[in-house]
Amino acid sequence: MTMEPFVDPIAGGLVGIVVDIAKKVGGTVAQSVSDRRQAAAALKKYEEKYRSRYGRLKLLGMQQAVELEQIYTYVRFLDSLSIRQFASLASLEETYREGQRRRFQTQESSKLGGAVVANEQQYLMVLGAPGAGKSTYLRRVGLAALQGKTGNYGHECIPVFLELKRFNQTQVDLKKAIAEEFQHFGFPESGQFAAKALEQGKLLILLDGLDEVPKATLNAVMEAIQNFVTQYEQNRFIASCRLAAYRSTFTKFRDIELADFDDAQIQQFICNWFQSDLDKQAKTAEKCWEILNEAGNKAAKELAHTPLLLTFLCLVYDRTQGFPSKRATLYRKALDILLEEWAAEKRITPGEIYQGLNTDLEKVLLSEIAYQGFVNDQLFFRQEDLVAQIKAFLADTVDKPKYLDGKAVLDAIAVQQGILVERAEDIFSFSHLTLQEYLVAQYIVQEDKIQELAEYHLTEQRWREVFFLVSGSMRNADRLLEAMEKTAQSYINTLKLKALLAWADKATEGSEGEYKPAAKRVGAIVLARVLNRDRDHRLSLALVFNRALNRDRDLDYSLVLALDLDLSLVPTRVLDFFFDLTHEYHKIKILQSVNFKTLMARLKTLKAEVPDRAQPYPVRQAFVNRILQLWFEAINLDPELVKLSEEELTALQNYFYANELMVRCKEAAVRVSEKTWAGIEDRMLKSPL
């Protein structure tokens, strides 16, 4: 009988290491793994148990675990710690605002690939925020080590994964813990095997969660790690810790911070997540990525740059094939994950600082910090100011928590939850602008600051998301919309603006076009501005409002947007444009009592009088003015009525923006009474009394 050639079931190099160590140990170990076949079987069993314990993920209420390698996405590290990149609060504010992005983590630094870093660094400290993927990275490197060359890990080491939170006694024995891992995973005489492997420098020791070590034993654990690394320095070590909790005391280790996911990583993660045959057939990943990139989901996508919250978004999409239209619900869940659920998932015991500081009370505290900062146009906070605010809040709270140390509370929030993040030395911000906006909205609703919101911040672009979240957080958004309408109407504050709106109402009232009355009034005002030869960004706001109001039947103003700024240069083109404009407005039927056949006939009579391009500018300009005059007469509009001052143009711009925002807030609301909205919509673009 011919025996089949022996093929190692896993990395051949590791098999040789096990055989070599076993021979040096002798005894039962040498007998159990005396040849490559036996060593391979032992390693195979070790790998299976490693995969079973550390190679699968089940979190955030997932119905079943998924293989880590199935959804794992390559990671990148910042080449220097972000906390060291800025020297002052002013530089942080300036950098953020110049970048005009919603994300706080700076992306200017070059990035290093996760595999490259693991291969290059013998002693590596992986830092990052809660949910940034530190533990996942360590587990994945361990799997790569077990796979040998096929796993992109270039060192022949047996990985040993240790969860540091298990060291809850002052006596810390890392050597014993490693031996127990080998014993649990099926190695005979594991103590001797571990000792010999350490001496030979053949282990990759993965120390996960330094920040999760109980406070009472933290110093003992840190000292034990340093002594252990010194004693067994030939081995390779990767440790992880939350950035806010880390104090650089491990001199041998290279400190490196996980970068936020970029778009390519987010898309790859989503593709990895939706890999079932049904998902592939339905193109679920493509649809999820497309929806996440829609303009209305910018804030949701911001959360996706954190792996933990991206996992949450994938779970939401998997269950509903979409994201909630009321995004306040989505952000509330994301906040709860960071405040409470993630610690529970990882079985981290809350510290004594949280005795009495329950989640609901913490939300109130955070919402107050968020609101005061937002009102002051402040996204970054000095530590001393935060500590003072926390102390004042707790001191003024009935049944206050036992511990009133503001600094300790701030540290706990930063370390355990990552809601507040230290961006530079003693300077903090919220982890996500989205979460700060959500907390601002909660404060406004809880403290009944609806009127102040509408009165002072209606046209401030940075408050836009807050308006949506306030609308989605109220049981009934009538009061918000009524307050917004009152402020919007105050912008129409000159006789000329009021007269312009009155003309638009009269010109469109009772017209045949199958559009909402307010949309018809928009069309009339756009026409008036075109006849006044206005083609700037302020006109486009009217069209944005029109699209928001008329989603089911949008008025197409692409022709208007194509209008040449200098109408007098080519008279033939000008005449052609107004022929097209006449045809378009005749077709949409939004203007009442306009005889378009007569207008068209009068325009045709001008064809024979079109001046040559060689004619002087005044001649060409006079011809264009004759065309415009025909239109003004046809629609019964005084040309002087549309000659607005700069202040009036700005007021009209704000008015259109406010009305568009009202429409979007209505869509974001849980409930708006039919009577209230019907009244608001009817009054849109009507001259206020």
Asked if residues 422 and 428 have their Cβ atoms less than 8 Å apart, the reply is: yes
**What is the Cα 142 distance to its own chain's centre?**
30
| Shared-domain flag, residues 168 and 299 | no
Stated as kind and residue range, the H or E segment containing 49 is helix 36-54
| Shared-domain flag, residues 124 and 217 | yes
- How many C-beta atoms surround the C-beta of residue 378 within 10 A? 14
Question: Which range, 134-143, 335-344, 570-579, has the best average confidence (pLDDT)?
Answer: 134-143
Residue 630 has pLDDT above 90, yes or no: yes
Rounded Cα distance between 457 and 658, Å, is 10
DSSP secondary structure code for residue 5 in this structure: P
* pLDDT band with cut points at 50, 70 and 90 for residue 640: very high
Task: Note the maximum CA span of the chain.
Answer: 111
Mean pLDDT of 195-222: 92
| pLDDT number for residue 5 | 39
Asked if residues 305 and 107 have their Cβ atoms less than 8 Å apart, the reply is: no
What are the helix and strand counts (H, E) for the chain? Answer: 33, 12
The answer to whether position 395 is within a domain reads yes
Higher pLDDT, 681 or 216: 681
| Shared-domain flag, residues 525 and 674 | yes
- For 467-521, the DSSP string reads HHHHHHHSS--HHHHHHHHHHHHHT--SHHHHHHHHHHHHHHTT-S-SS-HHHHH
Q: What angle do CA 353, 356, 360 make, to 5 degrees?
A: 105
Rounded Cα distance between 445 and 451, Å, is 11
Where is average pLDDT lowest: 83-97, 123-137, 165-179, 654-668? 83-97
Extract the tokens encoding 623. Answer: 């011809």
| Shared-domain flag, residues 462 and 492 | no
Render pLDDT for 391-406 as a digit per residue (tens, 0 to 9): 899 888 866 666 568 8
| Shared-domain flag, residues 129 and 189 | yes
Structural domain count, the chain = 4
Render pLDDT for 545-587 as a digit per residue (tens, 0 to 9): 666 666 545 555 555 544 444 555 678 888 888 888 898 889 8
The answer to whether position 17 is within a domain reads no
Mean pLDDT of 513-519: 87
C-alpha separations of 37 from 40, 43, 148, 278 in Å: 5, 10, 17, 41
Rounded Cα distance between 490 and 481, Å, is 14
- How many C-beta atoms surround the C-beta of residue 656 within 10 A? 24
Higher pLDDT, 628 or 150: 628
Cα dihedral 636, 640, 641, 643 sign: positive
Mean of per-residue pLDDT scores for the chain: 85
Looking at this protein, which amino acid is placed at residue 546?
Answer: N
Q: What angle do CA 269, 262, 301 make, to 5 degrees?
A: 75
Higher pLDDT, 188 or 37: 37
Residue 176 has pLDDT above 70, yes or no: yes
| pLDDT number for residue 565 | 42
Among 210, 195, 219, 198, residue whose Cα is nearest residue 253: 210
| pLDDT number for residue 673 | 97
The answer to whether position 458 is within a domain reads yes
Stated as kind and residue range, the H or E segment containing 523 is helix 517-531
| pLDDT number for residue 564 | 47
| Shared-domain flag, residues 549 and 675 | yes
- For 567-623, the DSSP string reads TTS-HHHHHHHHHHHHHHHHHHT-STT--HHHHHHHHHHTGGGPPPTTS-HHHHHHH
C-alpha separations of 7 from 4, 12, 545 in Å: 9, 9, 69
| Shared-domain flag, residues 677 and 648 | yes
* Bridge partner list, 240: 126
- For the chain, the 3-state helix, strand and coil shares in percent, each to the nearest 5, are 60, 5, 30
Sequence-ordered list of residues with C-beta below 8 angstroms from that of 324, at least 6 positions apart, any chain: 316, 330
Residue 285 has pLDDT above 80, yes or no: yes
| Shared-domain flag, residues 292 and 249 | no
Among 250, 234, 181, 237, residue whose Cα is nearest residue 204: 237
**Do β-strands 236-242 and 123-128 pair in parallel, antiparallel, or remain unpaired?**
parallel
| pLDDT number for residue 369 | 97
C-alpha separations of 147 from 12, 37, 399, 577, 586 in Å: 9, 17, 56, 69, 72
Asked if residues 681 and 516 have their Cβ atoms less than 8 Å apart, the reply is: yes
The answer to whether position 28 is within a domain reads no
Q: Tell me if residue 328 falls in helix, strand or coil.
A: helix
- For 208-249, the DSSP string reads E-GGGS-GGGHHHHHHHHHHHHHHTTTSEEEEEEEGGG----
| pLDDT number for residue 407 | 87
Asked if residues 54 and 306 have their Cβ atoms less than 8 Å apart, the reply is: no
Extract the tokens encoding 178. Answer: 């490693």
C-alpha separations of 529 from 537, 561, 576, 639 in Å: 12, 12, 19, 10
Asked if residues 370 and 430 have their Cβ atoms less than 8 Å apart, the reply is: yes
Sequence-ordered list of residues with C-beta below 8 angstroms from that of 346, at least 6 positions apart, any chain: 165, 209, 212
Residue at token pair 């390693």: 43
Asked if residues 421 and 436 have their Cβ atoms less than 8 Å apart, the reply is: no
| pLDDT number for residue 533 | 74
CB crowding 86-103: b at 16 or more within 10 Å, else e: beebeebbeebeeeeebe
The answer to whether position 689 is within a domain reads no
| pLDDT number for residue 1 | 34
- How many C-beta atoms surround the C-beta of residue 679 within 10 A? 13
| Shared-domain flag, residues 175 and 70 | yes
| pLDDT number for residue 551 | 55
Residue 121 burial (10 A CB sphere; 0-12, 13-18, 19+)? middle
SS (H, E, C) 175-213: HHHHHHHHHHCCCCCHHHHHHHHHHHCCEEEEEECHHHC
**What is the Cα 266 distance to its own chain's centre?**
11
| Shared-domain flag, residues 136 and 232 | yes
Residue 687 burial (10 A CB sphere; 0-12, 13-18, 19+)? middle
Rounded Cα distance between 453 and 448, Å, is 10
Higher pLDDT, 437 or 44: 437
The answer to whether position 46 is within a domain reads no
| pLDDT number for residue 539 | 58
The answer to whether position 2 is within a domain reads no
Phi, psi of 64 (to 5 degrees): -145, 155
| Shared-domain flag, residues 660 and 552 | yes
Rounded Cα distance between 334 and 313, Å, is 9
Rounded Cα distance between 174 and 529, Å, is 77
| pLDDT number for residue 421 | 86
Extract the tokens encoding 431. Answer: 């982890």
| Domain range for 382 | 352-417+430-486
| Shared-domain flag, residues 574 and 659 | yes
The answer to whether position 36 is within a domain reads no
Asked if residues 211 and 243 have their Cβ atoms less than 8 Å apart, the reply is: no
Asked if residues 338 and 130 have their Cβ atoms less than 8 Å apart, the reply is: yes
Q: How many residues does the chain have?
A: 689
Asked if residues 137 and 126 have their Cβ atoms less than 8 Å apart, the reply is: yes
**Do β-strands 427-430 and 381-382 pair in parallel, antiparallel, or remain unpaired?**
antiparallel
Render pLDDT for 77-107 as a digit per residue (tens, 0 to 9): 887 666 545 557 777 777 777 656 677 765 5
Extract the tokens encoding 395. Answer: 């001191």
Where is average pLDDT lowest: 171-175, 276-280, 559-563? 559-563
- Please report, for the domain that includes residue 94, its CATH number: 3.40.50.300
Residue 151 has pLDDT above 80, yes or no: no
Phi, psi of 590 (to 5 degrees): -100, -10
